[in-house]
Chains A and B, each alone.
Chain A
Amino acid sequence: MTSTADTVLVTRTLEGERNAFGELVDRYQKVVYNVAYRIVGNELDAEDVAQTVFMKVYENLATYNPRYQFFSWLYRIAVNEAVNSKKRLRKSVELTEDSIRAQSTPLEGVVAMDVENQIGAALMSLTPENRAILILRHYQEFTYKDIGYIMDLTEQKVKARLYSARQRLGKILIQKGLNTEL
Chain B
Amino acid sequence: MNDQHLNLIQAEVDGLNSDSESARVRSLIADNSELRCSFDELNAVKLAIESLVEKEPPPTLRASIMNAIPERETERAPVAETTSWWESIASIVTSPKPVSLAYAFSLGLIVAFVVSTVLMPPTISTNTDQFLGSMGTVNLSGFETIAEFAIEEEEEEDDREGSVKVHRNASLIVIEFTWNSGRPVLASITYDEEYLGYTGTTVAEESSNLKTTTEDGEVTMSSDGPLKQFVTLTVRDDYEGENELNFSVTSGGRSLLTRSLWVRK
* Contact surface of A with B, Cβ cutoff 8 Å: 7-8, 10-11, 13-16, 18, 21-22, 25-26, 29-30, 33-34, 37-38, 43, 47, 50-51, 54-55, 58-66, 73, 76-77, 80, 84, 87-88, 90, 115-116, 119-120, 122-123, 134-135, 137-139, 152-154, 157, 159, 161-163, 166-167, 169-171, 173-174, 178-179, 182
Contact = CB atoms under 8 A, between A and B. Distances in A.
Interface string B236-248: 1110000000000
A121 B215 CA distance: 24
Interface residues of B, number: 64
Nearest to A26: B62
B30 interface: no
Contact of B213 (A10, A13, A34, A153): A153
Contacts of B38: 167
Nearest to A178: B48
10 contacts: A14-B72, A14-B74, A21-B69, A65-B135, A76-B133, A80-B199, A122-B48, A123-B52, A137-B14, A159-B10
B61 to A, nearest CB: 6
A41 to B, nearest CB: 12
A51 B68 contact: yes
A32 B234 CA distance: 22
Interface-central residue, A51, A65, A170, by most chain B CB under 10 Å: A170
B225 interface: no
Contact of B134 (A8, A65, A116, A122): A65
B65 A182 contact: no
Nearest to A139: B49
| Shortest Cβ-Cβ A-B pairs, 4 listed | A170-B41, A33-B57, A138-B49, A60-B130
Given A10-B77, A16-B72, A51-B61, A174 B56 contact: no
Contacts of B188: none
A137 to B, nearest CB: 7
Given A87-B197, A88-B237, A80 B52 contact: no
Contact of B199 (A84, A119, A138, A163): A84
Contacts of A51: 61, 64-65, 68
Given A38-B52, A115-B51, A14 B76 contact: yes
B256 interface: no
A124 to B, nearest CB: 12
Interface in B9-27: 10, 13-14
Contact of A14 (B42, B65, B75): B75
Contacts of A64: 78, 134
A99 to B, nearest CB: 18
B23 to A, nearest CB: 21
A133 B166 CA distance: 31
Nearest to B41: A170
B52 A87 contact: no
A127 to B, nearest CB: 9
A122 B158 CA distance: 54
Given A10-B79, A88-B236, A119 B53 contact: no
B234 A170 contact: no
Interface in B34-90: 38, 40-42, 44-58, 61-62, 64-66, 68-69, 71-79
A63 B69 contact: no
